[in-house]
């Protein structure tokens, strides 16, 4: 490592930061300069060969881009922002990363240590503001602490349950000199990133699974974060267990895996939602029983013996009481569990998922993906991208109807291929996250599905795409509404459309002004050709605007306050089914 | 106020590294859930460099368990535990300031001090300061008894607590972590070689 040769040399804190980042293997930074971070940017000027800096248009964009980068690459995303408004603008992204366990190291400039507490220009209490939304926050006040803090930040961000770390970097510590003393951190006394796997707990879980007649797996992003995709598929194959994903677990299993039965949750698939309340054993892996997954908790899987594997002990029993809680890395746990369980098949039980999903296709999906007549529907567009792109693209979503439709109708062949803001539900996430995803893997097509509302929350990042020549494919599902809120207003607020109608700019002209290739589709027979054109060259930035049905709704839907078996098929009909006889 | 099925006074003990902002990190976990911290005391522990927080809080069992796990999740927290009163030996200290002339005139004051096992810390022409250690109800009782004399100031500390358990769980955790550190170091050295 080149950085090793610099050990012991005296240099300013800003250079210690840059060299420590390089020692951590960082090659990309997303950021925005400003007063209190200028010494760092001045140093960065000399390191442009080694470090790629992506200049965004707003700090929120920098953080979401770093999230996209982290989710695709599996390595922490790095962000530079200045003090005060720079840091506060980053807050939304940091909170998003905390909810969705995304490893980030955010370095915010701060006024000099001697000015702290005096309401100096662009001073804010970054530590105080970020403590509740970070895995760790630390203020660097002396150049001597820079290397230590950086090494510690990366260790914390990427290990255990990943998450964002903020280093608030006082200006005097950026300028002041110290010896470069970087040393990687791989141990913190008060922190146990990966708990020791308990053989006994795995044995207990195996015994329960071996006795199961109707087992079911629900997995989440933990499978992706721990690289347990193969172990999960292996477990399902050996035990003949049907599995369903959470929103963030999407793409961990190949969509064509015979045991994959779709997504759970509010807009998930009927099969896994209904079967949650019919299974006898529920194995939850790397997921946290979010309320969008469980619906009303009091009726969730009451009949089932529940086994929960999660690396974060605070998640075990937090929402759903579990019979066996296994505090472990999902990969280690699944590998051992697969060894200990008996081979089994549950063909009839698996087929009962398929039956429900076939009903869903007949009653809902078919009409969404191939309506044949009428205005273009969102599902058709998502389906066209998966179909024409052969499920190879990284799919990024914004938040709202576009997100749910993307999740429902995209198909995947590779893990880390669906990026979305799950926990925080941050509108404006999509475009900058797609930028980060593209930077992390330029060889793949990166398609971001946005609504007209969400796109405009971070639309200035089109400038970043232009300047960095990033081949991001923006698919704008334009319905001139804040569609998801409009849907709720229609269903639950007596169609009182309070401030959800949008008057929009000419998105074609907007793309053109950024020099981004663009096209608009208003007719169904133009869609496939436009998608083919968009995907032809992964290096070309492109905005595809599709005028979709204005008052479309996302179904099926488990409405708020209802349980997982209370499924609306449309505004007036509920899913009716014959419950499996109790065994 | 959130409706609570069960309402028990729990004593939470938190062992942490000495880092700026720890108190804030811990207190916001209570704030998020709208839990009132009934008392709080912070001090060093028997282990060098390790700080101990003792927090008393009324809530139900499910909540306190979740809170303790969320506290323990913080990077600089070594361990966190919760106890009910029968699992710990605990104590509080209270100070009382009363007017000297009123107690000098009272024939019962000496008996009152003896009966309550209180100590006099300071006495001058104007005021007298008493101290009493004990449980909350005991220090409260003394306050009530002093009330007729006119209490000028009253203060009670947060509770401090020691477990009745024969095992020191934090020490065990730290030992375990030391072994882990050695293992991690060996692995790192192997990788370098």
Contacts of B76 in chain A (CB under 8 A): 136, 190
Is there a single domain that holds both residue A260 and residue A303? yes
Whether B28 has its CB under 8 Å from any CB of chain A: the answer is yes
Tell me whether residues A190 and B17 touch, CB distance under 8 A: yes
Could you give the 3-state DSSP secondary structure of residue A164?
A: strand
Tell me whether residues B70 and A136 touch, CB distance under 8 A: no
**pLDDT above 90 as % of chain A:** 97
Using the predicted structure, report yes or no on whether residue B2 has a pLDDT greater than 70. Answer: no
Cα of A125 to nearest chain B Cα, Å: 12
Is there a single domain that holds both residue A246 and residue A280? yes
Mean pLDDT of chain B: 92
Tell me whether residues B32 and A135 touch, CB distance under 8 A: no
Question: How many C-beta atoms lie closer than 10 Å to residue A290's C-beta?
Answer: 18
Is there a single domain that holds both residue A289 and residue A319? yes
Whether B186 has its CB under 8 Å from any CB of chain A: the answer is no
Q: CB pairs below 8 Å between A and B: how many? A: 51
Tell me whether residues B181 and A190 touch, CB distance under 8 A: no
Residues spanned by the domain of B102: 89-156
Mean pLDDT of chain A: 97
Spans in chain A with pLDDT lower than 50: none
Domain boundary among B35, B51, B83: B83
Separation in Å, CA B14 to CA B42, B68, B69:
9, 9, 11
Is there a single domain that holds both residue B8 and residue B74? yes
Tell me whether residues B17 and A187 touch, CB distance under 8 A: no
Is there a single domain that holds both residue A436 and residue A485? yes
Tell me whether residues A131 and B69 touch, CB distance under 8 A: no
Using the predicted structure, report yes or no on whether residue B191 has a pLDDT greater than 70. Answer: yes
For residue B85, report the phi and psi dihedrals to the nearest 5 degrees: -60, -30
Tell me whether residues B78 and A186 touch, CB distance under 8 A: no
- Residue B193 in any domain: the answer is no
d(CA A397, CA A403): 5
Is there a single domain that holds both residue A227 and residue A338? yes
Position A68 scores a pLDDT of: 98
The CATH number for B119's domain is: 3.30.70.1150
pLDDT digits (tens, 9 = 90+) for A148-197: 999 999 999 999 999 999 999 999 999 999 999 999 999 999 999 999 99
**Which of B69, B75, B184 is facing A135, going by the closest CB pair?**
B75
Cα of A135 to nearest chain B Cα, Å: 7
Comparing alpha-carbon positions, the chain B residue that sits nearest to A134 is: B74
Position B92 scores a pLDDT of: 96
- Residue B16 in any domain: the answer is yes
- Residue A555 in any domain: the answer is no
User: pTM for the whole thing?
Assistant: 0.95
d(CA B189, CA A184): 12
pLDDT digits (tens, 9 = 90+) for A516-539: 999 999 999 999 999 999 999 999
Domain boundary among B83, B113, B143: B83
Is there a single domain that holds both residue A224 and residue A291? yes
> What would the mean pLDDT of B73-90 be, rounded to a whole number?
96
Domain count, chain A: 3
Contacts of A187 in chain B (CB under 8 A): 180-181, 184-185
> What would the mean pLDDT of B167-192 be, rounded to a whole number?
90
Tell me whether residues B72 and A314 touch, CB distance under 8 A: yes
Could you give the 3-state DSSP secondary structure of residue A267?
A: coil
The CATH number for A408's domain is: 3.40.50.970
For residue A5, report the phi and psi dihedrals to the nearest 5 degrees: -65, -20
For residue B6, report the phi and psi dihedrals to the nearest 5 degrees: -125, 145
- Residue A322 in any domain: the answer is yes
Position A76 scores a pLDDT of: 98
Position B189 scores a pLDDT of: 86
With a CB cutoff of 8 Å and minimum separation 6, the contacts of A275 are A214, A216, A242, A261, A352, A353, A356
What does the longest C-alpha to C-alpha distance in chain B come to? 83
Residues spanned by the domain of A125: 2-179
The CATH number for B40's domain is: 3.30.70.260
Is there a single domain that holds both residue A410 and residue A310? no
> What would the mean pLDDT of B171-193 be, rounded to a whole number?
90
User: What is the residue-wise DSSP string for A387-415?
Assistant: HHTTT-SEEEE-SSHHHHHHHHH---SSS
- Residue B11 in any domain: the answer is yes
Whether B45 has its CB under 8 Å from any CB of chain A: the answer is no
């Amino acid at each position: 490592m080149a950085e090793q040769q610099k050990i012991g040399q005296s240099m300013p804190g800003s250079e210690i930061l840059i060299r420590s980042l390089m020692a951590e293997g960082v090659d990309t930074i997303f950021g925005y300069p400003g007063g209190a971070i200028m010494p760092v940017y001045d140093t960065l000027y000399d390191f442009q060969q080694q470090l790629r800096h992506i200049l965004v248009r707003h700090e929120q964009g920098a953080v979401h881009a770093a999230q996209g980068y982290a989710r695709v690459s599996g390595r922490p995303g790095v962000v530079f922002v200045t003090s005060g408004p720079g840091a506060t603008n980053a807050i939304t992204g940091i909170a998003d990363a905390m909810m969705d366990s995304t490893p980030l190291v955010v370095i915010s400039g701060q006024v000099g240590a001697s000015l702290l507490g005096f309401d100096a220009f662009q001073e804010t209490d970054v530590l105080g503001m970020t403590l509740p939304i970070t895995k760790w926050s630390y203020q660097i006040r002396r150049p001597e602490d820079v290397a230590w803090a950086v090494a510690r930040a990366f260790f914390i961000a990427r290990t255990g349950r990943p998450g964002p770390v903020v280093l608030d970097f006082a200006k005097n510590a950026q300028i002041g000199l110290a010896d470069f003393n970087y040393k990687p951190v791989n141990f913190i006394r008060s922190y146990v990133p990966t708990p020791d796997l308990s053989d006994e707990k795995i044995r207990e879980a195996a015994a329960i699974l071996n006795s199961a007649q109707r087992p079911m797996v629900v997995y989440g992003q933990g499978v992706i974060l721990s690289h347990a995709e193969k172990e999960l598929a292996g477990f399902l194959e050996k035990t003949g267990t049907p599995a369903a994903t959470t929103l963030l677990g999407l793409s961990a299993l190949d969509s064509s895996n015979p045991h994959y039965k779709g997504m759970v949750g509010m807009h998930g698939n009927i099969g896994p939602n209904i079967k949650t309340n019919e299974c006898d054993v529920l194995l939850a892996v790397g997921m946290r029983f979010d309320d969008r997954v469980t619906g009303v908790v009091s009726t969730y899987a009451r009949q089932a013996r529940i086994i929960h594997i999660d690396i974060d002990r605070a998640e075990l029993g937090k929402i759903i009481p579990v019979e066996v809680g296994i505090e472990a890395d999902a990969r280690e746990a699944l590998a051992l569990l697969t060894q200990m369980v008996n081979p089994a098949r549950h063909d009839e039980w698996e087929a009962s998922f398929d039956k429900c999903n076939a009903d869903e296709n007949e009653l809902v999906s078919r009409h969404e993906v191939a309506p044949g007549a009428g205005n273009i529907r969102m599902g058709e567009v998502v389906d066209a991208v998966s179909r024409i792109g052969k499920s190879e693209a990284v799919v990024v979503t914004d938040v709202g109807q576009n997100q749910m439709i993307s999740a429902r109708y995209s198909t995947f062949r590779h893990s880390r291929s669906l990026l979305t803001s799950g926990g925080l539900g941050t509108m404006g996430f999509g475009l900058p996250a797609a930028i980060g995803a593209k930077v992390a893997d330029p060889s793949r097509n990166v398609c971001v599905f946005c609504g007209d509302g969400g796109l405009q929350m971070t639309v200035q990042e089109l400038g970043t795409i232009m300047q960095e020549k990033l081949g991001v494919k923006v698919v704008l599902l334009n319905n001139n509404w804040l569609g998801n809120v409009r849907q709720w207003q229609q269903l639950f607020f007596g169609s009182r459309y309070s401030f959800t109608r949008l008057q929009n700019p000419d998105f074609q002209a907007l793309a053109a002004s950024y020099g981004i290739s663009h096209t608009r589709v208003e007719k169904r027979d133009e869609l496939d050709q436009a998608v083919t054109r968009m995907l032809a060259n992964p290096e070309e930035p492109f905005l595809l605007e599709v005028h979709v049905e204005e008052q479309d709704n996302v179904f099926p839907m488990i409405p708020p306050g209802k349980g997982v078996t209370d499924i609306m098929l449309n505004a007036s009909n509920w899913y009716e089914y014959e419950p499996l006889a109790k065994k | 106020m959130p409706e609570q099925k069960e309402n028990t006074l729990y004593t939470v003990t938190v062992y942490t590294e000495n880092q700026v902002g720890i108190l804030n990190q811990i207190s916001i976990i209570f704030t998020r859930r709208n839990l009132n911290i009934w008392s709080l005391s912070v001090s060093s522990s028997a282990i060098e460099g390790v700080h101990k927080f003792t927090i008393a809080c009324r809530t139900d069992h499910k909540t306190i368990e979740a809170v303790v796990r969320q506290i323990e999740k913080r990077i600089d927290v070594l361990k966190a535990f919760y106890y009910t009163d029968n699992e710990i030996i605990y104590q509080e200290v209270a100070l009382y300031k009363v007017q000297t002339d009123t107690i000098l005139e009272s024939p019962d004051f000496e008996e009152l001090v003896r009966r309550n096992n209180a100590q006099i810390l300071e006495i001058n022409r104007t005021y007298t300061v008493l101290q009493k250690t004990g449980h909350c109800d005991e220090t409260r009782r003394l306050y009530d008894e002093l009330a007729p004399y006119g209490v000028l100031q009253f203060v009670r500390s947060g509770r401090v607590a020691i477990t009745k358990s024969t095992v020191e769980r934090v020490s065990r955790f730290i030992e375990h972590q030391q072994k882990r550190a050695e293992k991690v170091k060996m692995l790192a050295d192997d990788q370098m070689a």
